[in-house]
Every structure is written in C-alpha cells, then in structure tokens.
Amino acid sequence: MLMSTHEARLAALREELKRQGLDGFVVPICDEHMSEYIGAYAQRLEWLTGFGGSAGSAVVLSDRAAIFVDGRYTIQVRDQVDGRLFEYVGTAQQSVADWLGANAAKGAVIGYDAWLHTRDWVKQASAKLAKAGATLKELTDNPVDAVWHDQPARPDAIMKPHAMEYAGRDSAEKRGDIATWLAEENLDAAVITALDSIAWIFNVRGSDITHTPVTLSYGVVHQDGRADLYVAPGKVTDDLRAHLGNQVALHDYDSFPEGLDALSGKAVAVDPERAVAAIFARLEAAGAKVVAKRDPSVLPRAMKNTTEIAGHRAAQARDGAAVSRFLHWLSIAAPAGGQTELSAAAKLLEFREATGKLIDTSFDTISGASSNGAICHYRVSEETNLPIVMDSLYLVDSGGQYLDGTTDITRTIAIGTPTAEMKRRFTQVLKGHIALATIRFPKGTTGGQLDALARQFLWADGVDYAHGTGHGVGSFLAVHEGPQRIAAFGGQGEPLRPGMICSNEPGYYKAGEFGIRIENLVLVEPIEIEGAEQEMLGFETLTFAPIDRNCIDPALLSPGELAWLNAYHGKVMEVVAPQLDGEALAWLERACAPIA
C-alpha cells in the first residue's frame, strides 16, 4: 500500500534521526525569533504533520510520535493530522517535557534545535529526560531541513522606514530610553530578538512574515544609544540607511552569532521569553555576563502614543466600513444561496482592498460556517470549505494591516432563523462582552482579574470557552501583542495601563454544530470618577460594525445592557454611516436601529 504524504515524511525524518544516532526529535512551530506567525521556510511542523495552527509541537520517537496543542486547536488538530501517525496530546494535560520524560527509553538521545526553543524549555526537558535516564542533545543542523527537499528559502523583501506620521516617536528617542534603562540596570547592552520589537525600536517595517509587517533581523542596543542591526544585505536600501542614521551600524543577518561573540566581557540583557536558547549559550560561551530581563521595548510598545492611537482610530473606522459593506452583502448573498466560507472570505478581502489602504490581512481570516464555526482558530481550505446555508450561524474573525493601525474584529451572523439555543448562547456572549466593555477598575488591575467578567453568564449555564478573552494588539505590527492579556492563563499577571489596546472577545463553541464570538478592540484609558480615592481605568471601544440583532434575545438583557447596545450602534452610525451610501447605508440604518 502506498504511504500518504505525511507518512512518507515521518518515515524520512526517522531515517535521518537514525543516521544521526538520535532516538527522537522535537519539532515546534517556531522560528529563530520566537514569532507567533512564521515564514514558509520555518513551517516545519505543518510540513511534517499537516497541522496549520499557530501554536503547537510534535515529538518524533523511533516507534511513536505525538502532537501537542492547546484548547484552541483540539478540533482542528484531529481534522488535519492523521491520528494513526501522531497521538493527540492537550498541553493543559501534559507538556512536551512531561511526555518526553514518560515515554523516552532509558539511554535515549533526544535532539532539539537550540534556535527554536527557549532556555527554560531546554532546562525543563533536560530535567524530565534525566529522570528517565535519557539525554537532550543540542543539534547543529535541524534534521527536518535535511529531509525537506523543497523547503522555501528565507524571504528577500526589503526593510522599509516607518514614517513619523505613523510612529509618533523618533527611533533615536526610543533607543535613548533603552540606553537610560541599561544605565539604570548597570548593563552594557540589550539583545533584541523579537521582530516586532526591532520594527518598533528602529521605526522600520517589512513583509517577511505573512500578516505581520516585520523583517527577519536582530538588534543590539548599547548603553550609549548606539545600536547594531543585523539584516540581510539585500534588504537594505539607501532610504533605509538614511532613515537609520550613523548611530545604527548595519551587519549581515548571518553574522549575528559572531556579533554575540563581540559582547565578551559585557553585561548583556536578554529576554528569556523571546530569545532562543542558542543566544544564551553563545553569549555565555563568549564570556558575556548574561542577565535575564524582559525586552525593554515590550511595555512602551504596548502603551500606544497619541499618534498611534489616532492612527488606530482612523484604521478602525475605515475597516469598520469595509466590514459593514461585507455584512450588507452577506445579508443578500447568503440567503440567495451559492456562497461558501471561501467565497465569503474572498468578498470580505475585496471590501478591505477597496479602501486603497490595505497592506495585508492581520491573520488568516477565520471564515466558519455551521460546525466549522466551532473550531476556534479554524483556517478554511478547499478541503474543509462548507457552504453557508439557511438557518445556521456563520462566524467571521478577520483583520487588516494598515500603515496607521492593525485591526481585528469578529462577528457572528444568523443566516435565516437561529434556534433558541443559538440566541441564548449569543446573548450570553454579548452580556459578557458588555460586562468587560463597561468595567471600571483600579490602576494595577491585571487582565487575569477581569477575565471572569466575560465568562460569568456562560458559567451560569455550566458552559465556557477554551481561549483567552483578550490579547494585546500592535500598531501596524503583530495582531497578538504582549505583555498584557485578558485571560486566566499566560500573561494574565501584567497590569493594564493607559494606551494599551486589547481585544474583547468572549465566545461559545458547540462542537459539530456552531460557534459564536463577538470581538471588538478596546483602548485602556484613565477614567474620572467623582470622589474616587485612587486612579481608575476603563475601556474605550474602538471597533465599529453592527452586532447581529437577529441573534439577540432582548429578554435576557438588562436595561443597562440594552442601553449599551443601543449606544454602541448609535456610535457605529456616527463612525461608519458617512462612509456608506445607497442600499448599504439603508441596511446599516436597519442593523443599528435601537432595540426597544
């Protein structure tokens, strides 16, 4: 019997491991910069397994293999990965390190690529394997690359200056702030590895990573404000050199390891969450004093300046009009029949492109009809494409990258008549969305403390959703940006600060039937409360497009919730209506009409 494509690839990898004297290998979704979205050349897990999510890992042993995903991907992984080849493991139940410790044979040697894992992961996996009498071995060359014969090359797009009219702060000023921080911490330099951090610090953008306007590069900022930028020579233009100025020295991307050697004897800050294990090892071998510190650009990047906030409002208004045009189109096209997840996603892209300002989508559009809507991070393909049919729910989560801002919005639409269960769950999700949108909270409050507000109405019925309620969003940068999150896990301890932009996206997913999510972006802002005894913060909603009235059971809404919904739709009219005309405008007026 002929082997399937992924069966053949798995067999080829096992042969390569055997040739190298290895008993196993760990394959994460990752690149050398710990990016969430990665270039085609780094999609090793998808090539090996078929899994197309943005988070996950696999372990390949000589006689068994497993794939590890979190709760967002429990349905998707079963659709995309052959269960005869890979065991499905939920990371909430068992980590990769724990699985290795439980399944690696005594004396086994398990390989890993130190440019694709954090130092902490290496420590944990090494400890678990040691208890089992096995060993974790750093490899010079990735064995997947050895058998991936048509592996794409690294992208060659140029690095572009990002104008002050969008950035709001000069790169020299940002580097000066980092230099001041280094002096305060008695450090000589900071190694910057996260691509969005480099883009923000140097006010540059690129197109090396789909959906995220960044360039493959590394940076080192010194205490005197000088900096080294490592980027492939073919990406450098005269405009870029002029933009960077004489305080930034340019080096070949491939010479970065030698650049680390030059920091011998220096006290160097490296972010343990964003820098791979190989960087720590190289610096330590060179004789540098390595100090684990969070990337100093992470917090200021998250706290948007006034220019970035104004740009985001402009981008969101433009995007909201495009989404509203799409919803109007869907209200006619879906009941007429013949539409699918792919055709709807393509039409939404057309409306965004018609703005004349779209640079890219901010992630693969999640276009989920009926049961596919229950897959939280679903990615439609020709194989999975479902028709959009009557008396069903259609979920569309999408966003755009514009020079002035990054957008992310989810709407769930009833095609025909929703069931009573659909309306109840939708209204519960809406109530949670409103509870978060209207909360006022003291300075120092974390996203983890707010997460339950959005879940409480679902919890009352004994149901929940397996993803966070909110993530940070960049300024023409990553659509998922830290350090803040509104979640009960992962980054939940970061206080929310003025200028941070987060998503507000509770949901509900009934496997095999339907999915619901309502997502707007919100801005953390100071709130004046008469008689308040401490600084208070709240959220300003930034996203404007109708929320489907046909999915709402008004009897489940309190007077305050109903007032919020009507006021929100009034704001949608204020922001979006001037950009529409004709039938689209008439539809918007109906979609935003107050509910009594």
CATH number at residue 456: 3.90.230.10
Q: Residue 74's pLDDT band (boundaries 50, 70, 90)?
A: confident
Query: In terms of domains, do 87 and 198 share one?
Result: no
Domain boundary among 278, 298, 318: 298
Residue 593 lies in a domain: no
Query: In terms of domains, do 274 and 320 share one?
Result: no
The number of CA neighbours under 13 Å toward the Cβ of 565 is 27
pTM: 0.93
Residue closest to 127 by CA, chosen among 155, 151, 152, 96 = 96
Residue closest to 402 by CA, chosen among 364, 353, 367 = 353
CA distance 515 to 43: 28
Residue 490 lies in a domain: yes
pLDDT at residue 158 is higher than 50:
yes
CA distance 496 to 234: 40
Query: In terms of domains, do 547 and 438 share one?
Result: yes
**For residue 152, what are the contacts with CB-CB under 8 A and spacing of at least 6?**
39, 40, 41
Q: pLDDT digits over 200-250, tens only?
A: 999 999 999 989 999 999 999 999 999 999 999 999 999 999 999 999 999
Q: Residue 541's pLDDT band (boundaries 50, 70, 90)?
A: very high
> Cβ atoms within 10 A of the Cβ of 499, count?
17
Q: pLDDT digits over 450-461, tens only?
A: 999 999 999 999
Residue 258 belongs to domain with CATH number = 3.40.350.10
Query: In terms of domains, do 105 and 245 share one?
Result: no
Radius of gyration of the chain (CA): 25
287 vs 82 pLDDT, higher one: 287
Q: Residue 51's pLDDT band (boundaries 50, 70, 90)?
A: very high
pLDDT at residue 354 is higher than 60:
yes
Residue 256 lies in a domain: yes
- φ, ψ for residue 56 (rounded to 5)? 160, 170
Residue pointed to by tokens 């979609």? 591
> Can you tell me the mean pLDDT for 418-446?
98
pLDDT at residue 492 is higher than 80:
no
The answer to whether residues 453 and 487 touch, using CB atoms and an 8 Å cutoff, is: no
Domain boundary among 248, 269, 298: 298
> Cβ atoms within 10 A of the Cβ of 454, count?
27
CA distance 133 to 135: 7
Residue 405 lies in a domain: yes
The reported pLDDT for the residue numbered 1 is 47
The answer to whether residues 300 and 324 touch, using CB atoms and an 8 Å cutoff, is: no
Residue closest to 112 by CA, chosen among 278, 281, 290 = 278
Query: In terms of domains, do 129 and 254 share one?
Result: no
CA distance 191 to 527: 37
- Token pair recorded at residue 587: 């539809």
Residue 260 lies in a domain: yes
State how beta strands 520-527 and 536-541 pair: antiparallel
Question: Which helix or strand (DSSP H or E) is residue 221 part of?
Answer: strand 218-222
Hey, is 354 helix, strand or coil?
coil
Residue 590 lies in a domain: no
> Can you tell me the mean pLDDT for 566-590?
98
- φ, ψ for residue 548 (rounded to 5)? -60, 110
Query: In terms of domains, do 280 and 381 share one?
Result: no
Ordered DSSP codes for 311-335: HHHHHHHHHHHHHHHHHHHHHHHHH
> Cβ atoms within 10 A of the Cβ of 573, count?
18
- The rounded mean pLDDT for the chain is 95
Domain boundary among 298, 324, 356: 298
The reported pLDDT for the residue numbered 2 is 56
Query: In terms of domains, do 251 and 329 share one?
Result: no
Q: How many percent of the chain have pLDDT more than 70?
A: 99
Hey, is 79 helix, strand or coil?
helix
Residue 496 lies in a domain: yes
pLDDT at residue 547 is higher than 90:
yes
Query: Amino acid identity of 331?
Result: S
> Can you tell me the mean pLDDT for 28-43?
93
Handedness of CA 460, 466, 472, 477 (dihedral sign): negative
Query: In terms of domains, do 548 and 438 share one?
Result: yes
Residue closest to 273 by CA, chosen among 293, 299, 290, 296 = 293
Query: Amino acid identity of 280?
Result: F
Q: Residue 488's pLDDT band (boundaries 50, 70, 90)?
A: confident
Q: In residues, how long is the chain?
A: 596
Q: Residue 491's pLDDT band (boundaries 50, 70, 90)?
A: low
Domain count, the chain: 3
**For residue 569, what are the contacts with CB-CB under 8 A and spacing of at least 6?**
546, 547, 591, 592, 593, 594
Query: Amino acid identity of 98?
Result: D
Residue 504 lies in a domain: yes
Q: Residue 394's pLDDT band (boundaries 50, 70, 90)?
A: very high
The answer to whether residues 62 and 23 touch, using CB atoms and an 8 Å cutoff, is: yes
Q: How many percent of the chain have pLDDT more than 90?
A: 91
C-alpha angle 273-274-279 in degrees, rounded to nearest 5: 105
Ordered DSSP codes for 97-116: HHHHHHHSPTT-EEEEETTS
- Token pair recorded at residue 74: 């429990």
> Cβ atoms within 10 A of the Cβ of 595, count?
11
- The C-alpha torsion from 294 through 295 and 297 to 302, rounded to 10°, is -50
CA 549 vs CA 181, 390, 427, 541, 587: distances in Å = 50, 17, 10, 19, 12
Query: In terms of domains, do 83 and 128 share one?
Result: yes
Which strand ranges, in their side-by-side order, compose the sheet holding 109-113? Answer: 87-90, 65-69, 57-61, 24-28, 109-113, 135-139
- Token pair recorded at residue 316: 């969101």
C-alpha angle 115-118-122 in degrees, rounded to nearest 5: 100
Query: In terms of domains, do 353 and 208 share one?
Result: no
Query: In terms of domains, do 450 and 575 share one?
Result: yes
pLDDT at residue 16 is higher than 60:
yes
C-alpha angle 266-247-297 in degrees, rounded to nearest 5: 65
CA distance 90 to 88: 7
Query: In terms of domains, do 480 and 539 share one?
Result: yes
Residue environment code for 300-332, b if the CB has 16+ CB neighbours within 10 A, otherwise e: bbbebeebbbebbbebbbbbbbbbbbbbbbbbe
Identify the domain containing residue 65 by its residue range. 5-147
